[in-house]
Every structure is written in structure tokens, then in C-alpha cells.
Amino acid sequence: MHVPVQAIDREIWRHSVASEGTRLIPEETPLALTYNGGTHAVMMGTPQNLEDFAVGFSLSEGIVRSVDDIRSLEIVRLDDGIELRMWLAPDQAARISERRRHIAGPTGCGICGTESIAEAVRPAAVVPPGQNFTPEQIMTAMQAIAPLQSINMQTRAVHAAAFWSPAGNIVALREDVGRHNALDKLAGALARSRTDARGGMVLLTSRVSVEMVQKTAAIGAPLMVAVSAPTALAVRTAEAAGITLIAIARQDGFEVFTRGGRIVACHATEVADVA
């Protein structure tokens, strides 16, 4: 099935008493990303916002440098999965032929199938200085995520990635059973809408691993906030990329792991060069 949510009958046991009921659960399906007729990767993901996923994956993996490098994109729904068929400009097609890889990506896999250790831990792009943020802005942004998670409100089983703008609102939010997929979908949504990410922050409902930092750096956001803890490699990568990494964000506060100079006690909208 190619709908994001399915209603499933199940048996429920509570206090040693059985009953029957129906629960909404998220769908996951194979998503094949093909370029100029060749399959580059197969990931398991939620069949929603697939144009965003195709564009975001292509950008975050360095397959294309701009959304304009994708000449055409077609979503083809098959019996056993979905193909995201893209045709690239000639120079981009030549680049991908040199670094083609075939991935069987289970749910939640971010760097499956990379051909070398160096590719897996490649340096992230260095983000521009960006602007300062107040603790109140960060807390308000994180609290705005839950009401916008339509699939998670039904299933309690998917991740979200969102982008908050200095105007004080969530510009885009994408959900997926895979946290990396959700962030790729967000990257694609921002690229397709020509949103400049340099002044806002990326928000995550998951932990922060190194590839989540790499993808945020590719988006160009100077600050990322997550509800769970980061890995040590993610912290080192964020520091090198110039990203302010905030994690363990709860209702009563958060923890800053890198580049804390962007967090200011009073409202500041001017761009500042943060060490």
C-alpha cells in the first residue's frame, strides 16, 4: 500500500483481559532513487512527500549541487514499492556515474552502503555565521512541532524534522519512519521553495548522529535542536561545521554542545560572527 497510515486490527491485552480493536500505524515501503535510468539507492520510508525526499536526498548526498540540476522527477508507484525517477543535467550525470553505489537501506539507515570509511565520516559543509537566538525562541520553536505532526498524532511511531524561521513560525515540517528520511524531506521542501536556511534552525524529534549533522550542514542552517542526545562524533562534526548543536531539549530547557555564542539572553536579530 502507498498511503502513509494503515488501520490494522489487533488483539489487546489489559489487566489479563483480551479485547479487539483497530490501531493506526505508519506504512513503510521501498523507495528506489534512480538517476538517468540507473538505481542509486533503495531506502525504506513513509510514502509521503516523495518529491521532497528525492530532492533532499540528492542534495544531502552531494549527487546534485542545486535543485535545478534535476531536469525531471517522476514518482512511479509499483506493486512492491515506489521509484523516484530523476534525470540529471549531463555534467551531474557524469559525476554520479563515478560515485554510484547500490544501497539496501533499512528503516533509520543514514549512511548504509557507503563505499569507504572516509565517505561515511566526510567533513560537513561549513555553515555561514547566521544570527543569534534566544532561549525563548528555541523553546517556542520546539513546542510548535507536536501539533503539526499529523502522522505521529495518529500513530506515535514516526520522526519529524522541521525548520523554524526568524519570523517566528515553522516554515516546513516533514515526517517519516526514518529520521534521516524526515530530514531529507525537509531539505527537499526548503530547496524546492527556495527558502534561505541561513537565518533559521533545524528541529529534530530524534537523536543526533553524524549524518544528521552532515545533512543539516548541507541545508545551511546554523543551529539544530533535538529532543535526544547527540553522539560524540556528531558533536565534533557540528563544531567543525560551525553549527550550534542543541540537544536534550525538554519543556524546562536544553543543553548546548557546540557554538554556544549564538544563544543570547535578550532578543537579537542582527547577524553576528560567532566563534
Q: Which residues are catalytic?
A: 109
Strands 70-78 and 17-26, how do they pair? Answer: unpaired
**Closest alpha carbon to 126 in 252, 18, 214, 38:** 214
- Under 8 Å between Cβ of 106 and 123: no
d(CA 210, CA 235) in angstroms, rounded, equals 8
- Under 8 Å between Cβ of 28 and 182: no
Residues pairing with 84 in the sheet: 33, 75
All three cell numbers of 205, joined, read 524529534
DSSP structure string for 161-229: EEEEETTTEEEEEEEESSHHHHHHHHHHHHHHTT--GGGSEEEESS-B-HHHHHHHHHHT-SEEEESSP
Q: List the helix and strand counts (H, then E) for the chain.
A: 8, 13
